[in-house]
């Protein structure tokens, strides 16, 4: 089942919080270029999975291989430098910085070390120009100089994606990018994700089934930390166990 050429290979991932099993012998593989959606009811362990992939939470057991290397014991920053980028379910940005500063910071993280004490970073075209380009890409070009805290919720979510993109990742981990968004904002985000499809490899957690079935190449269904099914959208739609465990609950939010 595991493809040898997969960019991300997770094997036997297990994580317990006291009595709760948040990841239960979880295995999945994401090949280069794929959009892989992870769905499952609230509390299924989706965010915990992403946190383990990103290096924020240590698994109790299991391995994470990325681009051929074992990442299981690497800290968060080191994984990010190898090309894993994460967006947070609960918006996590530099609220006191401008939108442009937020993205430029992410560019800077991947432009060598930052023990540079003299040159002014805010007038460094190596940081500012790519940051502006990425803001434009996510549709925030008009907001570059606004303080991030003053952006609308939807814009902050877009900024969250912009920061992840700015690290030029090999794999994007998106945790409910549309969480808390209005209809119009969601539509804009779907449009952005559609543009990223084919260009980026993405592991996305999303509740909106229309979006998932429209975007994903493959879907993994998580219930109580266990992957009960993985397959193409049509396979997942047809899977009886999935229908019963999850889809049957009808548009669970």
Partner 1 sequence: MAALDRRHVFVVTLLALFALLPIAAQLADQPFYIGQFRRILIFAIAAISLDLILGYGGMVSLGHAAFFGIGAYVVGILNHHAAEETLFLGLLPGSRNVLITWPLAMLVAAASAGLIGLVSLRTSGIYFIMITLAFAQMVYFFFVSLSAYGGDDGLRFPGDTVIAGLIDTQDDIAFYYAVFAVLAGVLYLCQRMIESRFGLVIQGCRENERRMQAIGFPTFRYRLACFTIAGGIAGLAGALFAAHESYISPSIMHWTRSGDLIVMVVMGGMGSLIGPVVGATVFLLMEKLLPDYTEHWPVVFGPVLLLIVLFAKRGIFGWLRPREHRRAAP
Ligand X SMILES: Nc1ncnc2c1ncn2[C@@H]1O[C@H](COP(=O)(O)OP(=O)(O)O)[C@@H](O)[C@H]1O
Residues that bind Mg ion (CB under 5 A): 47, 89
Question: Measured from the CB of residue 20, what is the shortest distance to ligand X in angstroms?
Answer: 5
Interface residue with partner 1 among 28, 71, 85, 223 (CB under 8 A) is: 85
State the residues that interact with ligand X by CB under 6 A.
17, 20, 22, 40, 42-48
Structural Rg of the chain based on CA atoms: 18
Interface with partner 1 includes 106 (CB under 8 A)? yes
Q: How far is the CB of 11 from partner 1 (least distance, A)?
A: 23
Give burial (CB, 10 Å; 0-12/13-18/19+) of 253.
exposed
For residues 225 and 43, is the Cβ–Cβ distance under 8 A? Answer: no
The answer to whether the CB of 8 falls within 8 A of the CB of 171 is: yes
Q: Residue 76 in contact with residue 88, Cβ under 8 Å?
A: no
CB-nearer residue toward ligand X: 33 or 43: 43
SS3 state at 161: helix
Nearer to Mg ion, 144 or 212 (CB): 212
Give every CB contact of residue 157 below 8 A, 6+ residues apart in sequence: 91, 177, 178, 179, 180, 181, 185, 189
Q: What is the DSSP letter of 220?
A: E
Stretch that binds partner 1, among 97-105, 136-144, 186-194, 237-245 (CB under 8 A): 97-105
Per partner kind, with CB cut-offs from 5 to 8 A, the member of Mg ion, ligand X, partner 1, none near residue 188 is: none
* Beta bridge pairs of residue 9: 29, 65
Phi then psi for 176, rounded to 5 degrees? Answer: 45, 65
Footprint (CB under 8 A) of partner 1, residues 206-245: none
Q: What minimum distance in Å lies between the beta carbon of 159 and ligand X?
A: 21
Among positions 16, 65, 110, 237, the unique one binding partner 1 when judged by CB under 8 A: 110
Distances (CA, A) of 86 to 60, 92, 126, 231: 21, 10, 23, 23
Residue 110 Cβ vs partner 1, minimum distance, rounded to whole Å? 6
Six-digit token pair at 73?
């014991």
Assess contact for 203 and 31: CB atoms under 8 A.
no
Nearer to ligand X, 48 or 87 (CB): 48
117 scored as a contact of partner 1 (CB under 8 A): yes
Site residues (CB under 8 A) for partner 1?
54, 56, 75-78, 80-81, 85-86, 88, 92-98, 101, 105-106, 108-110, 114-122, 124, 147, 163-164, 166-167
């Amino acid at each position: 089942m595991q493809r040898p050429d997969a960019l991300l290979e997770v094997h036997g991932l297990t994580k317990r919080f006291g009595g709760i099993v948040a990841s239960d012998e979880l295995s999945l593989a994401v090949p280069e270029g794929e959009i892989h959606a992870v769905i499952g009811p609230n509390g299924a362990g989706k965010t915990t999975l992403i946190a383990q992939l990103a290096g924020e939470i240590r698994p109790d057991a299991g391995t994470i291989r990325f681009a051929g290397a074992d990442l299981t014991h690497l800290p968060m920053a080191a994984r990010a430098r190898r090309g894993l980028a994460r967006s947070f379910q609960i918006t996590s940005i530099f609220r006191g910085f401008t939108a442009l500063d937020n993205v430029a910071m992410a560019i800077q993280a991947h432009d060598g070390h930052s023990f540079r004490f003299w040159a002014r970073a805010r007038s460094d075209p190596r940081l500012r120009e790519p940051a502006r380009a990425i803001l434009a890409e996510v549709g925030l070009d008009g907001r570059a100089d606004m303080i991030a805290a003053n952006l609308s919720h939807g814009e902050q979510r877009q900024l969250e994606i912009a920061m992840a993109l700015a690290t030029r990742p090999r794999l994007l981990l998106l945790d409910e990018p549309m969480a808390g968004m209005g209809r119009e904002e969601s539509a804009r985000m779907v449009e952005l994700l559609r543009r990223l499809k084919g260009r980026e490899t993405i592991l996305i957690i999303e509740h909106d089934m229309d979006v998932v079935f429209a975007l994903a190449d493959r879907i993994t269904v998580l219930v109580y930390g266990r992957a009960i099914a993985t397959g193409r959208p049509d396979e997942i739609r047809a899977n009886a166990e999935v229908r019963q465990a999850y889809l049957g609950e009808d548009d669970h939010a």
